[in-house]
A and B are shown apart, each in its own frame.
Chain A
Amino acid sequence: MFISDCRREFYDVIVSQRVLLLVASDVDALCACKILQALFQCDHVQYTLVPVSGWQELETAFLEHKDQIKLLVKQDDDLDVPAYDDIFRDEEDEEEDSENESDGSEPSEKRRRFEEDVIERTMKRRQRREWEARRREILFDYEQYEYHGTSSAMVMFDLAWIMSKDLNDMLWWAIVGLTDQWVQEKITQMKYVTDIGILQRHVSRHNHRNEDEENSLSIDCMRIAFEYDLRLALYQHWSLYESLCNTSYTSASLKLWSVQGQKRLQEFLADMGLPLKQVKQKFNSMDMSLKENLREMIEESANKFGMKDLRVQTFSIHFGFKNKFSASDIVYATASLMENIEKEGPETTNFIKALDSLSRGNLDKLHQGLDLAKKQLRAIQQTVASCICTNLVISQGPFLYCSLMEGTPDVKLFSKPVSLCLLSKYLLKSFVCSTKNKRCKLLPLIMAAPMDVEQGTVIMVGIPPETESSDKKNFFGRAFEKAADSTNSRTLHNHFDMSIIELKTEDRSKFLDALVSLLS
């Protein structure tokens, strides 16, 4: 159901009911969930939380709880949802097609005269055919590409704000939700910047600095601050060196998989006047003098080395003496917890842990997440380096293809969709920087990794090409469906992101062949 008034048509309706909350497995969804949970707590709404990782789980959960009447699809202005009348025809307009005017059958023996004139009906029929043709085009365009609209967490925050129930905590979750979209490259740069602007206004409202009051605010209170920060992953909880090596932007720009790349890194550090020993220490232990103006310094040097976007608009959260986290830190940590391959109990344990880590009280979980995130980022960079150095990324014509072999270190990490997507995106960035082939630089990438060795399945993702002004639209969902159909490959299109599928290893080659011909 499409909703235009979030408060009246959604919240006011469910606040008096028992609610079933179905939450997808991505950080943005988790953040939206947190906000809703906070609102529910406020209003004493009873709810059941069910994590779902794909369409099948969604259906199962829905069927199990069928008394729950409404299914929610979020209304969004920036999604080009076609107008109702363009797709659906009300039944009263159905006509009896008793005159088969174009197929040459015998005239009817008897004819009834309808309300309208024959000419009118012919006009209507012609209009209908035009409408159907246009409808086909619209649906084709709509279903052809997948892309993302506004972060669900931001939508939930907006709802809370409309109801004047918004809290700083909720604002933080909205920030994390948006940042997740940015980290996963689901939205365009412009959308990100616009949404940052929106959130910034809220941040100012909630966290205005009043010189007099600054001292009266307890240090335990949570504060959000706008930052024009370095886009170096986890750098404040790591060493600057590690962060530089394991952030895809720097790693790809400096080409750190090569010997020259390593040299360039040294030059870069030297240019900034940062001794290697310092830079390899934990960030918090770095000399204060070096940390002063660090951002400006790094930015200046980065420009010399072809990295013009080393800083990014974002937010950070402070509470207590030690606790300062950047939004992206939380995104990486939460995602890693969610996709943790160490299973510590039933399926949903990881999900719940990830959800919990978003609450300020669960710092231990957050730190665990940060550690896992570091492991993940390292694994990604190592895998990227190895793929580039061993030429594992090959062009299949209309797309690039890379397949991780069984037995590759850390390959188990990449059996999870978000991790695999992240790997693919970073790999593509690095590949584009490494290759001299102009054509290859413009191609999309399909990445495959073993999913379950026993069952002989492979997980495959398709990501759009790496371009300056990418609109982030992904056509692989459709393409995968068609290729699977035409080859009778055994595939599972369970993920909400249709560009992620599982398939049987045996069917992989014919599936890929079909994709090549489809997209050529």
Chain B
Amino acid sequence: NEHSERMRKFKNKGKDAAALRRQRVEVNIELRKAKKDEQILKRRSISFSLMDESLSPREDKRNEIIQLSLEEIIEAVNGSNAELQLQATQATRRMLSRQKDPPINQIIELGIIPRLVEFLTHADNAPLQFEAAWALTNIASGTSDHTKAVVEGGAIPAFISLLSSPHMHISEQSVWALGNIAGDGPLYRDALIKCNVIPPLLALVSPVTPVGFLRNITWTLSNLCRNKNPYPPLDAVKKMLPVLICLMKHEDKDIISDSCWAVSYLTDGSNDRIQIVVDTGILPRLVELMASPELIVMTPALRAIGNVVTGTDEQTQAAIDAGVLAVLPRLLQHAKPTIQKEAAWTLSNIAAGPCRQIQQLITCGLLPPLVELLDKGDFKAQKEAVWAVANFTTGGTVEQVVELVQSGVLKPLLNLLLAKDSKTILVILDTISNLFLAAEKLGETERLCLLVEELDGLDKIEALQTHDNNMVYRAALNIIEKYFSGE
């Protein structure tokens, strides 16, 4: 039926036609694109010859692309002709540095890694050293097995040696390779440290080191600070920290970012590890970076400070003294949910401190943004905010608790009783109990009951008496029985 055919088309709100139209355009374009294939091939070869010139300044200008088969590569690498060794290594490097799907497994299977590592020691053949270093870097950038193949080829001492190469591009490439090895995990990280990688690495940092090189160094350092189980050795940390502090004062954002990440790893541990960082006096700089508009800088700085306030009261005080409370409000309202969450988590840990620190929270105006986050924030951030409120009611004086209630925290808090997460509900119920305890001390229990009722909290608590979770229902029951059993 022609009519019903037509009507069926209507149900789709005209989207079909629009989609059709887009499809039509695409079909046409695909046919046109086919023509472009010839051009693509030409472009590739041009870029190849350009690469030759720019990367190997000391080499004889080799502008022809030398295509070698894998067999030819093995032969050349294992032979003693330096020319061929270089050609083969370069060809290997090229394969490993193409944009998509480098054939790492294939290269490993050739069994040439030990030979490439050996090439790293050919001090008389810098181009060969460089190409080998690059090729090995790229193999080590793959999976753990790939990195393992490089390490087992004896690469670690060879690369550490090359850190002192008179050729900057070679030492830089070695930094990169070592970064990949360190990044594999604590095992290789510590192996590198045991092989004494840190002194020559740090020696590369100077006021005249080019920015690109510094970036690589900072990244490699961050990998040496990274990972737990175990943490990096303390003496290594103590050696790296001063340089990291220095790098954090650089103007390049990537360098700042990676050094902040390094410090965030170092603060993610026991209190004595936090202390080592605090002792450097870097906290004010971290707080300053927390206020940066650049996400790549602000994120690790926030993480580092967040870690610091998980420590002792004194360490938390150091963060407060460094000015964290001035920056935190804005971050609680950040557009990115993960930032909101980390800021709330940081706040919750400060609120777990003594009442003088809680007082500083109040004076620095942290209550309004906290309430707003509780009301409208991302759910994960709200959960952290709930903890902040809970900690506040545990550690705060009666007056401070009153201020908390007066800031309007109760309404959004009670609303969160509707959350699906039992843990959050329990924390809220706990908080409410704390509020009532404070109320009792002031003889204001009635008022609090009324307030809770007005804010539709009573209904919600009552409803929780039938919650699946045992602890939730018991906590809810407890509150009802104690304060709402209507005398």
Contact = CB atoms under 8 A, between A and B. Distances in A.
Nearest to A72: B28
A489 B295 CA distance: 41
Interface in B253-288: 254, 257-258, 261
Given A73-B28, A107-B261, A484 B21 contact: no
Interface string B27-42: 1110111001000100
Given A106-B261, A109-B226, A110-B183, A115 B6 contact: no
A484 B483 CA distance: 56
Q: Say what secondary structure dominates the interface of chain B.
A: helix
Interface stretch (B117-125, B137-145, B469-477): B137-145
Given A71-B27, A88-B29, A106-B261, A111 B180 contact: yes
Interface string B166-209: 00000001001001100110000000000000000000000000
Interface in A474-520: 481, 484-485, 488-494, 498, 501-502, 504
A119 interface: yes
A490 B295 contact: no
Nearest to B295: A104
Interface residues of A, number: 55
B13 A488 contact: yes
A454 B3 contact: yes
A55 B299 contact: no
A100 to B, nearest CB: 9
B20 A55 contact: yes
Given A71-B31, A491-B14, A492-B10, A107 B258 contact: yes
A455 interface: yes
A95 B100 CA distance: 8
Max chain B Cβ within 10 angstroms of own Cβ: one of A105, A485, A490 = A490
Contact of B13 (A55, A71, A96, A484): A484
Contact of A115 (B13, B27, B97, B215): B97
A56 B17 contact: yes
Contacts of B99: 92, 94-96, 114-115
Given A455-B3, A489-B13, A493-B18, A55 B137 contact: no
A485 B179 CA distance: 51
Contacts of B184: 109-110
A103 B21 CA distance: 35
A2 B176 CA distance: 48
A453 to B, nearest CB: 12
Contact of A84 (B36, B140, B223, B339): B36
B32 A481 contact: no
B219 A107 contact: yes
A489 B12 CA distance: 9
A484 B14 contact: yes
Contacts of A492: 6, 9-10, 14, 17
A490 B11 contact: yes
B443 interface: no
A67 interface: no
Contacts of A48: none
A55 B24 contact: yes
A92 B176 contact: no
Contact of A493 (B17, B97, B142, B261): B17
Contact of A490 (B13, B51, B98, B222): B13
B99 to A, nearest CB: 7
Given A88-B33, A484-B14, A488-B13, A118 B98 contact: no
A2 B32 contact: yes
B43 interface: yes
A104 B296 contact: yes
Nearest to A105: B299
B420 interface: no
A404 B78 CA distance: 88
A114 B14 contact: no
Given A104-B295, A491-B14, 5 more contacts: A1-B31, A55-B21, A110-B141, A115-B94, A455-B6
21 contacts: A1-B28, A54-B17, A55-B20, A55-B21, A71-B28, A92-B43, A104-B336, A107-B257, A113-B176, A114-B97, A114-B99, A115-B51, A118-B215, A455-B3, A490-B10, A490-B11, A491-B13, A492-B17, A493-B14, A493-B18, A493-B21
Q: Which 3 A-B pairs have the closest CB atoms?
A: A104-B299, A109-B183, A104-B295
